[in-house]
Every structure is written in structure tokens, then in C-alpha cells.
């Protein structure tokens, strides 16, 4: 499948991807919903107005809106119908309604350089999991020793905590260094800007229709409730977190900012990248999950994930960002489906637009760790940047960029499905 539009061969946004996002044009028009194809955005509100999506949407209007929530609520059969219809309209050999209408293309297609991206959903709730075994092992080893690295429950259920939806930010939003209490080893608590500001490389997903309260989502139903995926950077103040987290877990060390990428990659677009993952079986040395968490189909995703960093000095010198880590979503022990199923097993109701994130994704080698806490091993092994600067944790002026992609091939040749990026620049703490 190839588009009639000129999509560069190495673009992460080919016709096989078609991620959804909320954008506004530079002419000041209201936000609307579009899909990205190459370096252009296809305005779905325009196609909807022209009646080109009526059959797929069954006559319901959902795209001339500032969020994807209404479309997310429609369910997987509608998502699949719309996706198939868009691929037909964008295909080099499909429905010519868009391909042969110059006026329609002029109205419906806009360069990504001429739009501003917004949060893709009104996020009612945000939950962050702790689903990477290597990350949990690394952190446990640092703070409890290798013998007690994993807590007794970790291999039996997807551990998570409820985050703060109000501070979920779109990529490109500056991150103000948080203030809070910190506890030196041999002194009373003090208050001030975090000195141990960190990132967390994560994969997140948006909930689709959701479930009624008291009615859990089963493993068989889970794919019908996962709309699509984004990259997540869960900024973390490690010194604030360390002092506060016992006994109830993360609070102010986490809730000040969580950044997400603007393009939501559809669940079905990632089907070619499903792989088996680490077996959850006694034969592999792991306890078998309880029946409600057992997942027969491949659990993992083969997605390459990169962490890039540049300092203010590097940008001033026009130095390319340094890649400080490369990981992969395959290192998640607990899958998105298992995360969602466990979240609702007690009858908790998930709603359209709810965001759930994987927790930090870390691989098996030091250069694949998804946080500076691990990359520098609590600051004992600083990273040296191309500028000669060293980093244990983030400094003011640092810019962090997370990217993700997966490669595949079809009858027409290789293609790449990507997420774009999620980035943020650290700004100094504010006074007061």
C-alpha cells in the first residue's frame, strides 16, 4: 500500500501509520482532528463535512472537535472502518475522491509546519505503571540490594499508581524545575528546587469506550478498549520522591509534569510489530499469572525508543543532540492489555480519553536504561556530552527528546511507523 501523496521513503508517517492528532492552523481557526501522512496533516473535519466518512462513522460527526474523546468512545469497529476508509482515500489506487479533486486537497491538506498541535484528548484520569522488569530490578537493587530488588508482588501483577491528569502536557511545553522537600542524609528536611531532576522513557495508551463501573474489562475485550499509543516522558524529581514516597508512593516528585507526543498511533497500526516477549511461565522461571491476566497472543511490541539530550551550550554551538539511551518496548514484562485488565478487575471504570503509561522502559545493558537515575547509577557514573559537559541529572536549559519507531516491510518494500517525538526544555525554578 502506497499513498498518492509524496511521502518520503524514510518518513515515520506512511499510509500504514495514519496517527490521529488535534491541530489548529496558523490562520487562527479552531482546533480540529487530523491524521498525519508524511509531512502533511489531513483535516478530518473537512472530509467529514463533505460526507466522505459518513459510511465509516455511520452518520455520526466526531472530527470537528477539539479532542478525540468522542471518536475514542465510538469503539474499535468504527476506528477500523475509518482507518480503512482513510487508507482508501489516500491510496495511489483507491477511491479518487481526494486524489482527483484539487480544490478538496487544497482545503483538506495542510503542512505540519503550518499547524500547532494540542493535547489529543481531554484526559480525565492518568495512571502510571511500573512494568519494565529491568527498570524495577535496577531501582530495587539501588535502594534495597540485589537480594530484594523485586518486591514480592511484582511478578504477579502490574504495579501502578494514580498520577495527575491536570499536569499532562503536550510535547514542546517547557518544564519548570519543581520545588519541594528534600532530606539530606544527616540533616533535617529542607525546601528548595529539585537537584535530581530526571526523565522516564515510557509508552502510553489512550482508553477507548471504557467500561461501566463494577464491570471489569476481560483480556479478550482489551484490544477493543485501547485506542492508540503515544510516547510519554514522566518527569521525576528523585530527591523529592525519595523523601515522600514511603508509605503511599509517588506524589509531588511526579505530579508536576508528564509530557506526551501529539500523534496517537492506532492500535491496529502496531499489529505488524507484535512479538512474544518474556514468557510468563514456570518453565521460564516466572510465576504464571492468575487466569484473568493470562494473554495468549503476543504481548510485546518491537518498538525502538531513543532518548536524546542537548544542553543550552550545545544548541548555541549548533551541536546535534546526543543519544544517551536506546531501548525497546519489548522490555515491558506486563503488556498494555494486562495493564488495562488489571486496572479494571476490581470494577474500576475506565473512560474515553483516560491515559495509561507503562512506567520507565529499561533494557538489559546500561545504554538501554530509560532514566538518568539508572544511566548514571544514582549519579555515580556521569554521562559526558559532546560539548564536554557532564550530566548526572538534568540541568536548567537541558532539552530532552524521546523518539520511537518500528520498521517493517510489505509487497511494496520497507516502511517505518513512528511516533514523532516528545520534547521539553528544563527551565529554572520560579521564585516564591
Tell me: pLDDT of 13 over 90. yes
Tell me: pLDDT of 128 over 70. yes
Task: Give, in order, the Cα–Cα distances in Å from 256 to each of 11, 80, 178, 241, 371.
Answer: 33, 36, 7, 12, 17
Tell me: pLDDT of 432 over 80. no
Query: Annotated active-site positions, please?
Result: 135
Least reliable range by pLDDT among 23-27, 82-86, 257-261 = 23-27
Q: What proportion of the chain, given as a percentage, has pLDDT over 70?
A: 100
Beta bridge partners of 254: none
> How many angstroms separate the CA atoms of 76 and 223, rounded?
8
> How many angstroms separate the CA atoms of 280 and 282, rounded?
7
Which residue ranges form the domains of the chain, and what is each CATH number? 20-118 (2.30.30.230), 126-427 (3.90.850.10)
**DSSP notation for 19-55:** -EEEEEETT-PPPEEEEEETTEEEEHHHHHHTTTTHH
What's the pLDDT tens digit per position in 183-238?
999 999 999 999 999 999 999 999 999 999 999 999 999 999 999 999 999 999 99
Q: Write down the mean pLDDT value for the chain.
A: 97
Q: Measured at the alpha carbon of residue 239, what is the angle toward residues 237 and 245, in degrees to the nearest 5? A: 85
pLDDT of residue 70: 98
> How many angstroms separate the CA atoms of 337 and 205, rounded?
10
**What pTM does this model have?**
0.97
pLDDT of residue 321: 98
| Sole residue written with cell 471504570 | 349
Amino acid at each position: 500500500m502506497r499513498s498518492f501523496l509524496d511521502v518520503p521513503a524514510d518518513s515515520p508517517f506512511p499510509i500504514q501509520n495514519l496517527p490521529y492528532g488535534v491541530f489548529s492552523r496558523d490562520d487562527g481557526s479552531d482546533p480540529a482532528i487530523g491524521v498525519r501522512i508524511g509531512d502533511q496533516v489531513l483535516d478530518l473535519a473537512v472530509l467529514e463535512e463533505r460526507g466522505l466518512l459518513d459510511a465509516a462513522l455511520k452518520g455520526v460527526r466526531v472530527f470537528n472537535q477539539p479532542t478525540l474523546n468522542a471518536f475514542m468512545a465510538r469503539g474499535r469497529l468504527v476506528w477500523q472502518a475509518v482507518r480503512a476508509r482513510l487508507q482508501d482515500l489516500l491510496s495511489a489506487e483507491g477511491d479518487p475522491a481526494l486524489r482527483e479533486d484539487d480544490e478538496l486537497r487544497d482545503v483538506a491538506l495542510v503542512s505540519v509546519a503550518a499547524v500547532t498541535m494540542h493535547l489529543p484528548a481531554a484526559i480525565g484520569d492518568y495512571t502510571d505503571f511500573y512494568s519494565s522488569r529491568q527498570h524495577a530490578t535496577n531501582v530495587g537493587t539501588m535502594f534495597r540490594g540485589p537480594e530484594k530488588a523485586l518486591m514480592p508482588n511484582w511478578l504477579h501483577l502490574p504495579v501502578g499508581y494514580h498520577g495527575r491528569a491536570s499536569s499532562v502536557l503536550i510535547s514542546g511545553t517547557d518544564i519548570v524545575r519543581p520545588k519541594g522537600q528534600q532530606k539530606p542524609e544527616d540533616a533535617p528536611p529542607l525546601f528548595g528546587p529539585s537537584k535530581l531532576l530526571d526523565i522516564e522513557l515510557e509508552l502510553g495508551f489512550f482508553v477507548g469506550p471504557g467500561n461501566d463501573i463494577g464491570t471489569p474489562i476481560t483480556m479478550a475485550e482489551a484490544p477493543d478498549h485501547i485506542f492508540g499509543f503515544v510516547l510519554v516522558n514522566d518527569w521525576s524529581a528523585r530527591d523529592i520522591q525519595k523523601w515522600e514516597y514511603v508509605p503511599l508512593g509517588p506524589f509531588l516528585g511526579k505530579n508536576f509534569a508528564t509530557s506526551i507526543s501529539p500523534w496517537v498511533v492506532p492500535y491496529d497500526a502496531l499489529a505488524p510489530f507484535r512479538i512474544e516477549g518474556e514468557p510468563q511461565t514456570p518453565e521460564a522461571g516466572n510465576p504464571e499469572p492468575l487466569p484473568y491476566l493470562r494473554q495468549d497472543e503476543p504481548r510485546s511490541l518491537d518498538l525502538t525508543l531513543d532518548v536524546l539530550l542537548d544542553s543550552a551550550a550545545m544548541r548555541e554551538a549548533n551541536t546535534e543532540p546526543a543519544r544517551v539511551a536506546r531501548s525497546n518496548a519489548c522490555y515491558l514484562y506486563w503488556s498494555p492489555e494486562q495493564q488495562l485488565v488489571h486496572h479494571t478487575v476490581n470494577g474500576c471504570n475506565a473512560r474515553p480519553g483516560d491515559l495509561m503509561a507503562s512506567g520507565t522502559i529499561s533494557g538489559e545493558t546500561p545504554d538501554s536504561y530509560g532514566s538518568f537515575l539508572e544511566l548514571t547509577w544514582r549519579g555515580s557514573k556521569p554521562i559526558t556530552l559532546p560539548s564536554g559537559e557532564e550530566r548526572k541529572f538534568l540541568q536548567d536549559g537541558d532539552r530532552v527528546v524521546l523518539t520511537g519507531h518500528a520498521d517493517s516491510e510489505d509487497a511494496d518494500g520497507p516502511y517505518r511507523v513512528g511516533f514523532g517525538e516528545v520534547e521539553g526544555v528544563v527551565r529554572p525554578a520560579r521564585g516564591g
